[in-house]
Amino acid sequence: MKKIITRCFLIFTISMAFSCKEDEIDLFTGKSALFIGVKMDERSTPENDMDSVRNVSFGFTDLQETTINFMVRLQGIPGKEDRKIKIKVAGSATKGSDYELNENVVLPAGAHYVLVPCKIIRNPTLMDTQKNIALSLVADELFEVPDTTRARINLSDGIPTNWVNNSFAAYVLGRCTKAKYQFFYDMMGYYDLADILYGDLNNISKYLNKKIEDYNLNPAKYEHKYGDVPLAFRFDPWD
């Protein structure tokens, strides 16, 4: 009787193992899928930071160009070989004068995503009108592509409108000046406030004022970039 029970247990265990393997195989049948977005924050990990739209406003900065990454993410098992991804570029911005982007995109072997750098050029025409760069994916024999997957970068220049034209932002951060905006951009990495929740503005103000105090104590640490100490501005309602 004991031998019969043991044999039955072994048969049950083996059958469960085969069942699990079949389930695992069923989970990964069919073609892999691709999704595209824009990497929202250059300092965070790509896995946690992808959205469909990003706004780039040069504002009061002295930058003449900047690079923003599109990101293509894989849903499925990474391949054992490099695989080419087909993309489609559209939008009102002009390639060569407003931006530069390499359309030869390859998903490396073993990778779950690939970044697609897009160099934004500060074209004088951005002062007159907002432009955009739109990327979408093209399905092929290797990858499925959902109909809704696309990404866009909006480009503009001039004043940071989401600061200047928003009474709450202007109240929390104070009056927008070129010096303050340069400091804001260098410390935060944002071009405008379009992607910032207004509930976070108080914390941003406190953070920036601490950075001002740090600069005033040790301007050499910042290569005296913002001039003589103490700085003549703060991120306060009365400034």
Sequence spans of domains, the chain: 33-156, 159-238
pLDDT of residue 123: 92
Q: How confident is the model at residue 2 (pLDDT cuts 50, 70, 90)?
A: very low
Q: What is the mean pLDDT of residues 201-224?
A: 95
Higher pLDDT, 33 or 41: 33
Supply 12's token pair: 């049950």
Stretch among 36-40, 43-47, 143-147, 228-232 having the lowest mean pLDDT: 43-47
Amino acid in position 182: Q
Stretch among 15-19, 116-120, 172-176 having the lowest mean pLDDT: 15-19
Query: In this structure, are residues 130 and 156 in contact, taking their beta carbons and an 8 Å threshold?
Result: yes
Closest of 67, 66, 57 to residue 158, by C-alpha: 57
Measured in degrees and rounded to the nearest 5, phi and psi for residue 221 equal -60, -30
Q: Which CATH architecture has domain 33-156?
A: Sandwich (2.60)
Query: In this structure, are residues 116 and 71 in contact, taking their beta carbons and an 8 Å threshold?
Result: yes
Distance (Å) of CA 71 to CA 38, 49, 77: 6, 10, 17
Closest of 203, 196, 205 to residue 41, by C-alpha: 196
Closest of 53, 51, 19 to residue 35, by C-alpha: 51
For the chain, where are the alpha helices, taking DSSP H only?
2-27, 161-164, 167-173, 178-188, 201-217
